[in-house]
Amino acid sequence: MIALEDLPFNFVEGVGFRRLINTILPRYKLRGRQFFTSLVCDDLYNSVANKIKVLLKDLEKISFTTDAWSDTSSGTSLVSLTAHGVNEDFERVRIILKCEIMEGRHTGQVISTKIESILEEWVAQDELKAIQEISMKQFPLSTIQDCPTRWNSTFYMLERFVKIKDSLLLYLSTKQFVSFSPDDLSTVDLLLKLLAPFEELTKELSNSKNSISMVIPLTHVILTTLKAAKDNQNTPEKVKALFVKVIREISERFGDLNKNLLCSVST
């Protein structure tokens, strides 16, 4: 239902939806949005991806079609890549490998780059999984892509990057197209420290049990945390500039909350 109606994951925490489920299934313990994001992004995605890999291996020859269109509900442009083939039982197989967001002009070069990226990703996932399982003796985890319209997807992408950093670096050591310096890795860690308070703040303020009384204290805490990180002598200048900008934005947007009667009285 969430996928078909293009709903946010926090829909499952809404009062109306919880009342509905409590009425029709009183004994069912409804999970929060974090459970469903983890379920979809990790468990279901990996399960479906592994099934698709099995189906692709059964095809001796594969051809591809692509399509580009605009999603009216989100206002974004998308491009998809679909694999076609015939398996050993002479059954036609059609698999949508991925949909990608299209930004800027929809030129042939842009579409070509997107398609190459999708194909490379499927090959790379197999190699990364093998490195994690065989070389690193780890439970295989895939990378997470960020989405331009959801800021916290960048946090999840960087968080996953750090979690599988060693296997990723081992994989990239065999490639020529990208590499990470110690400064890059340090910057990722600092960016996580910048974004982590916002992830925590989002969860707190999205909780249906919280009220407006939480806004002033949480804003104060996040500003104090960010200022401490900014003033740390080990913070590089380029990251420090980002901290300064974020602090300025929060101060401009929420700096007058103490003058708001409802916020002040409830706090």
The pLDDT of residue 170: 85
Kindly report whether the global pTM for this prediction surpasses the value 0.85. Answer: no
The pLDDT of residue 235: 82
Coil, strand or helix: which one is 116? helix
Coil, strand or helix: which one is 180? coil
The pLDDT of residue 148: 65
Residues lower than pLDDT 70 in the chain: 42, 73-74, 147-149, 176-177
CA distances 233 to 109, 154, 248, Å, are 44, 25, 20
Mode of pairing for the β-strands spanning 63-71 and 76-86: antiparallel
The pLDDT of residue 67: 87
* Cβ-contact 194, 246 below 8 angstroms: yes
The pLDDT of residue 207: 74
Query: CA torsion, points 192, 195, 197, 203, in degrees to nearest 10?
Result: -110
The pLDDT of residue 20: 94
The pLDDT of residue 82: 92
The pLDDT of residue 210: 80
Domain boundaries, given as residue ranges, for the chain: 181-267
* Continuous H helices in the chain: 15-24, 33-38, 45-57, 108-130, 151-163, 165-172, 182-206, 215-231, 237-254, 261-266
The pLDDT of residue 176: 66
Cβ partners under 8 Å of residue 69, min gap 6: 77, 78
